[in-house]
């Protein structure tokens, strides 16, 4: 199958679906809007806070304000006041929002399951959630959870799948919340992970040892590819792979930037070295995806350039009416330093904070 590299407007990139375009194509906005969505019966997602819909919240403690406030009207388990990219993908495909695998409260797995947790890494973590916010549920753990989910849900579906109308209502309800075994081979498998591997490197190695971080990238990429191969072996055929965003533009990155030296930030206000490393990190997975296209017969792989889409949004934030904190008096260096020392975070609702 063909590899597609997607690079479009941020609002539109979340609406794309596998199955259109050829090798090397850049899908235009008009094509996205005019093309019908693909028919996937289910979505299975693997990732970090960029796509976590309640996993880490269920595992440790509920997400605090402003999680879910502007759209769901209640804590949603998301690291956002509104929806995430995976939510918009689900909407475009006509599927319900993804249920977190770790959340057992009224969870419905019929058309989806989300194994992502905030703070997850591709590689096995060497830090703790309580110290640095690193999730114990690395990508390998997430794929192992999928294996168990597939085996157990298939077993119970077969146990309750042929119940008649006069059978126990609880059994029928249980059946209705389980995925159909045949849907696993028709589902869309999404990867949105890797950002925290870079963040851990920046945190533990420091800028004077960035070359050592660069040396870890091939292993991260190979483990990501191994996860894809594993899911292919489990029947997966449609894969949607996000690269990592411009980590040097994240609010948490700016939280620690006080009186930067000349050349430390780019013209947008993002940390140059972090974004340069993110760009190198993204180059290698794209090359690996091209190889997997030939290796995994019958598989469709879509590579989404989230980095470019996000950076274009950030660089044009002012024109779109979003907050640019480097020019906002609330986030002057003096006040930002006080916020940092007090441990406060960024809690603006429906506003982009950098």
| CATH number of 45's domain | 3.40.50
Determine the Cα–Cα distance for residues 214 and 218; give it in Å rounded to an integer: 8
Report yes or no on 351 lying in a domain: no
Domain that holds residue 298: 3-342
Q: Is the pLDDT of residue 48 over 70?
A: yes
Q: Residues 19, 147, 293, 279: is their CA dihedral positive or negative?
A: positive
Which residue is it, tokens 């020392």? 341
- Does this model's pTM top 0.85? My answer is no
Report yes or no on 172 lying in a domain: yes
CA nearest to 199, candidates 138, 250, 156 = 250
Which residue is it, tokens 């319900």? 96
Q: What are phi and psi of 40, to 5 degrees?
A: -105, 130
Determine the Cα–Cα distance for residues 20 and 37; give it in Å rounded to an integer: 10
* Number of structural domains the chain divides into: 1
Residue 36 half-sphere exposure, CB side, CA atoms within 13 Å? 3
Report yes or no on 217 lying in a domain: yes
Range from 7-21, 150-164, 243-257 carrying the lowest mean pLDDT: 7-21
Report yes or no on 295 lying in a domain: yes
CA distances from 72 to 11, 67, 79, 95, 202 (A): 19, 9, 13, 17, 34
Instruction: Write out pLDDT tens, residues 236-286.
Output: 999 999 999 999 998 888 777 777 888 889 998 899 989 999 999 999 999
Report yes or no on 347 lying in a domain: no
Report yes or no on 348 lying in a domain: no
Instruction: Write out pLDDT tens, residues 298-336.
Output: 999 999 999 999 999 888 877 777 655 543 333 333 333
């Amino acid at each position: 199958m063909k590899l597609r590299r997607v690079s479009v407007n941020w609002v539109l990139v979340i609406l794309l679906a596998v199955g259109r375009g050829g090798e090397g194509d850049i899908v235009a906005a008009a094509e996205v809007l005019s093309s019908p969505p693909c028919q996937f019966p289910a979505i299975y997602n693997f990732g970090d806070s960029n796509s976590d819909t309640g996993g880490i919240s269920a595992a440790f403690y509920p997400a605090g304000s402003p999680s879910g406030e502007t759209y769901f009207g209640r804590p949603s388990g998301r690291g956002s006041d509104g929806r995430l990219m995976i939510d918009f993908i689900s909407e475009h495909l006509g599927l319900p929002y993804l249920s977190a695998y770790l959340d057992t409260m009224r969870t419905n797995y019929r058309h989806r399951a989300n194994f992502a947790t905030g703070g997850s890494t591709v590689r096995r973590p060497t830090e703790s959630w309580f110290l640095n916010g690193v999730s114990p549920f690395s990508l390998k753990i997430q794929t192992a959870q999928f294996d168990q989910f597939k085996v157990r849900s298939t077993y119970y579906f077969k146990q309750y799948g042929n119940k008649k109308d006069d059978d126990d209502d609880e059994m029928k309800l249980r059946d209705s919340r389980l995925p159909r075994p045949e849907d696993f081979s028709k589902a869309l498998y999404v990867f949105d992970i890797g950002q925290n591997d870079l963040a851990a490197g920046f945190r533990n190695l420091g800028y004077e040892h960035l070359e050592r971080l660069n040396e870890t990238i091939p292993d991260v990429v190979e483990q990501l590819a191994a996860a894809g191969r594993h899911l292919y072996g489990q029947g997966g055929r449609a894969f949607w792979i996000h690269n990592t965003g411009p980590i040097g533009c994240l609010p948490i990155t700016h939280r620690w930037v006080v009186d930067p030296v000349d050349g430390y930030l780019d013209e947008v206000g993002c940390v140059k070295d972090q974004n340069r490393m993110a760009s190198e990190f993204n180059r290698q997975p794209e090359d690996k995806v091209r190889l997997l296209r030939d290796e995994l017969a019958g598989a469709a792989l879509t590579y989404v350039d989230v980095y470019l889409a996000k950076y274009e949004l950030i660089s044009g934030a002012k024109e779109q009416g979003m907050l640019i904190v480097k020019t906002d008096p609330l986030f002057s260096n003096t006040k930002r330093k006080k916020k940092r020392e007090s441990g406060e975070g960024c809690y603006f609702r429906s506003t982009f904070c950098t």
